[in-house]
Structure 1
Amino acid sequence: MNRAALFDVDGTLADTNHLHVTCWWEALRQGGHDVAMHDIHRAIGLPGEDLLAHLLGEDRDTDQDDALTSAHDTLYGTYFDRLPPLDAAADLLRELDRRGWRVVLVTSARQTELDALRRAVDADDAITATASADDVEEGKPAPDPVDHALDLADASARDSVFVGDTVWDMRAGSRAGVACVGLLCGGIPRGDLEGAGARAVYRHPADLLAHLDDSPFAEVTDPGR
């Protein structure tokens, strides 16, 4: 079996969470919904339909979902040529690849958005595969995206680590039986990440890179040795 280093992208490798907050806020405003940005921030990381259910309730007019999602996607798409990667994100992926890990991206982003994020992170040479929202029936916090990523890497849960920045990432990884690492750069407090299953929490990719040798990554033995 292989070792899999699974990574969320928005807020974990790219500094995009607050762009999503602004775009969802404007899309919701255009649709006649007054939703606080704080509440939107806590929902970032969920697939679009689940985010709307979380913010507007299960009893909302679901006929409006497509229009709201399209408005968000159109607004967010205006940033595709300048999405900011987080410092040392590419270096972290390359170092794990150098150490023999199979790096797989696990994201709620659709393919077009994922392509823009990959261009921003600029580490395709270190990425083995991607698991996007298009690949599974149920997104985070269900374990399905993580399970799919493990299949792509041909790795077991016990030989894998999932890095993310939201409680949805931590819950999805925990439900899949994977050791979870939280990053604070997405704006979610340490206590929330730990409460959702994070085994360790770091400030950002550069902080995790600097502490790889005493992180949960160091606890997984290389099956080739």
Structure 2
Amino acid sequence: MIDAVIFDVDGTLVDSVVHEIVAWHEAFVRNNFDVTRDAVRQQMGKGADHLLPTLLPQESKRTHDRIAEAQGKIFRAQHRPDVRAFAMSAPLMTRLREAGVKIAIGSSGDKEDIEHYLRLTRATDLVDVLVCMDDVERSKPDPDIFQLALKRLGGPNTQRVLAIGDTIYDVQAATAVGIRTIGVLGGAFGMATMRKAGCIAVYHDVAELFARLSASPLRLDDADLGADARLAAVLTRG
């Protein structure tokens, strides 16, 4: 039985990865740096505190901060309005809560964006614990986000906690605190890469995970795979 699930947001609950990549690329161009979109894609899942030193290791923190600020403005003005929730994000959380599973959010994103996405997915009232970059010093792949999420969840046995995320950095951060990860494909990394990173299972998206819930690592004692699959199909069509 699982006691808690820690969800990533970008690329997991909402289809934001491509928009984030484009915004980062535009921010680099505006600041006269030649960084490709593919290079940015490979860093998705990290916060700016790790992404920028990796892509621009010779530049100062002041330069990093300037680019991060530009990216935030570009993203919120031009790209965030186009972000959509992945189908079945809220129904999956609802199903878990009905089974007594606590829901946490553990994201390298800013609180403003994460709260916007939770409203977008209609999941605000389904979340027991929210941890994002506003709460910690270091983003993923450092374990700070997961450490604080576990603390706010009341210190559950990590063997009874699962993470759900779309990047190898989700897996690395979760593994560092003894949490296993279910992977989904949000646009940054493929299935083989996620499996190699250590995911115990990988699904195309949360809709597939919901449809196969009873056969997944999230399987609930009273879950009915057929009922879950039928509900997933109905809600997806709707």
Give the TM-score normalised by structure 1.
0.92
Task: Flag structure 2 segments of 5+ consecutive residues without an equivalent.
Answer: 222-238
Cα offset, 1:142, TM superposition: 1.3
After TM superposition, the structure 1 = structure 2 runs for residues 181-220 of structure 1, keeping only pairs within 5 Å, are: 181-218=182-219
Number of the residue aligned with 1:65: 64
Number of the residue aligned with 1:148: 148
Task: Flag structure 1 segments of 5+ consecutive residues without an equivalent.
Answer: 221-225
* Corresponding residue SS for 2:218: helix
Identity %: 27
Q: Which runs of 4+ in 1 moved over 3 A?
A: 79-82
Query: Alpha carbon RMSD of aligned pairs, Å?
Result: 1.8
Greater strand fraction, Structure 1 or Structure 2: 1
CA distance in 2, matches of 1:160, 1:184: 20
* Corresponding residue SS for 1:10: coil
Cα offset, 1:82, TM superposition: 4.4
After TM superposition, the structure 1 = structure 2 runs for residues 22-37 of structure 1, keeping only pairs within 5 Å, are: 22-37=22-37
Asked whether 1:163 is paired with 2:167, we answer no
CA contact (8 A) 1:105 1:127 kept: yes
CA distance in 2, matches of 1:167, 1:115: 23
Number of equivalenced pairs: 219
Q: Which amino acid aligns with 2:185?
A: L
CA distance in 1, matches of 2:61, 2:124: 37
Asked whether 1:176 is paired with 2:172, we answer no
Give the TM-score normalised by structure 2.
0.87
Cα offset, 1:156, TM superposition: 2.2
In 2 relative to 1, CA 219–95 (structure 1 residues): closer, same or farther, beyond 3 Å?
closer
Number of the residue aligned with 1:96: 96
Number of the residue aligned with 1:17: 17
CA contact (8 A) 1:45 1:108 kept: yes
In 2 relative to 1, CA 126–219 (structure 1 residues): closer, same or farther, beyond 3 Å?
closer
Number of the residue aligned with 1:55: 55
Cα offset, 1:125, TM superposition: 2.2
CA distance in 2, matches of 1:152, 1:82: 32
CA distance in 2, matches of 1:216, 1:133: 28
Cα offset, 1:143, TM superposition: 1.4
Cα offset, 1:119, TM superposition: 1.5
Q: Which amino acid aligns with 1:7?
A: F
